[in-house]
């Protein structure tokens, strides 16, 4: 994986840093695993804008990703490593021994022709999926389930990984990318390895237009709005805007929004760092 810094032939390219796409092996996705995406432009069923700064962007097709990895003990070969416009990580196309094709989140180091497995007793190799309780201590993992058979919901973005730090009874303790340490049932599955495309954090858009291509509209600072539009708006000249808060009045910058009575609080060993 690498990044490319472009020559400043135009103002928009002066600071632009793009992905080298060294790991990508094809630019044609598997048609049977594509689905259309319906876009709302941030509006609800009555046409009212309920989310700000959403709209436009390049047309996309959704790649159906197998987050459950529930084809147990059936070997699969990596056919291609592909770009996915809907996420920061790369994806890998698996072809199983029975002929079925599925996309998965690609781990760093996956190569075309490599054989992957999912199951209780598979080897803890990069790209293999197995229950947390069957993994060696200190394993670097990604695509982690929060509840058994739910499918991976945590540690899925480019370059992220968690670490298995302890096992106790039916629970295992993992350290998440945020710094939070929490307990998860040992029957939950995870994939060995770090998520691919770790260079994603080094990219620089270079111009406002690239952000528009991603479907994000210009974001306006709260303090320059009118009082009718935001709690921090209004006032003469450069007013401070009072305490930082969202459009709905919920305090920001350090205000904790997690419920103190949430049932899963008992599974959090240590909160994430501020």
Q: For the chain, what percent of residues have pLDDT higher than 90?
A: 91
Q: How confident is the model at residue 241 (pLDDT cuts 50, 70, 90)?
A: confident
64-68, 127-131, 242-246: range with lowest mean pLDDT: 242-246
Burial of 243 (0-12, 13-18, 19+ CB in 10 A): exposed
Whether residue 230 is contained in a domain is answered as: no
Burial of 229 (0-12, 13-18, 19+ CB in 10 A): middle
Total H helices, total E strands in the chain: 1, 15
Whether residue 57 is contained in a domain is answered as: yes
Whether residue 98 is contained in a domain is answered as: yes
Print the domain residue range for 47. Answer: 3-200+263-270
Mean pLDDT, residues 202-222 = 95
Number of CB atoms found within 10 A of residue 85's CB: 15
55-69, 190-204, 217-231, 234-248: range with lowest mean pLDDT: 234-248
Mean pLDDT, residues 211-239 = 92
Cα dihedral 73, 77, 80, 81 sign: positive
Whether residue 212 is contained in a domain is answered as: no
Q: In sequence order, what are the residues at sequence separation of 6 or more whose Cβ sits closer than 8 angstroms to the Cβ of residue 119?
A: 72, 73, 129, 130
pLDDT at 147 over 70: yes
- Tens-place pLDDT, residues 74-109: 999 999 999 999 999 999 999 999 999 999 999 999
Whether residue 254 is contained in a domain is answered as: no
Per-residue model confidence (pLDDT) at position 273: 79
> Number of structural domains, the chain?
1
Whether residue 236 is contained in a domain is answered as: no
Per-residue model confidence (pLDDT) at position 171: 97
- Tens-place pLDDT, residues 8-57: 999 999 999 999 999 999 999 999 999 999 999 999 999 999 999 999 99
Mean pLDDT of the chain: 94
DSSP secondary structure string for all residues of 148-204: TTS---BS-STT--EEEEEEETTEEEEE-TTS-EEEEETTSEEEES-BS-GGGGG-B
CATH of the domain at 165: 2.40.50.140
Place of tokens 């135009």: 10
Whether residue 232 is contained in a domain is answered as: no
Whether residue 166 is contained in a domain is answered as: yes
d(CA 150, CA 201): 28
The neighbouring-strand residues paired with 203 are none
Burial of 186 (0-12, 13-18, 19+ CB in 10 A): middle
What is the chain's Cα-based Rg? 22
pLDDT at 1 over 70: no
């Amino acid at each position: 994986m690498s990044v490319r810094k472009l020559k400043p032939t135009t103002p928009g390219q002066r600071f632009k840093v793009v992905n080298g796409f060294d790991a990508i092996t094809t630019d044609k996705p598997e048609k049977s695993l594509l689905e259309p995406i319906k876009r709302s432009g941030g509006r609800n069923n009555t046409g009212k804008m309920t989310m700000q700064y959403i709209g436009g962007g390049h047309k996309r097709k959704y790649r159906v990703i197998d987050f459950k990895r529930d084809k147990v003990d059936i070997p699969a070969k990596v056919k291609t490593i592909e770009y996915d416009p809907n996420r920061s990580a790369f994806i890998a196309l698996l072809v199983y021994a029975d002929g079925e094709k599925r996309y998965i989140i690609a781990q760093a180091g996956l190569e075309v022709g490599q054989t992957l497995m999912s199951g209780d007793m598979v080897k803890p190799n990069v790209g293999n999926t197995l229950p947390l309780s069957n993994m060696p201590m200190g394993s670097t993992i990604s695509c982690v389930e929060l509840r058994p058979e739910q499918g991976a919901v945590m540690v899925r973005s480019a370059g992220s990984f968690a670490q298995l730090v302890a096992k106790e009874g039916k629970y295992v303790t993992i350290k998440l990318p945020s710094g939070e340490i929490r307990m998860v049932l040992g029957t939950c599955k995870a994939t060995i390895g770090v998520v691919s495309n770790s260079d994603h954090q080094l990219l620089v858009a270079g111009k406002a237009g690239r952000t528009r291509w991603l479907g994000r509209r210009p974001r306006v600072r709260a303090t320059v709005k009118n009082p009718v539009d935001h709690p921090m708006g209004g006032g003469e000249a450069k007013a401070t805007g009072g305490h930082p808060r969202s459009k709905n009045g919920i305090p920001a910058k350090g205000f904790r929004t997690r419920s103190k009575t949430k049932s899963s609080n008992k599974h959090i060993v240590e909160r994430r760092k501020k």
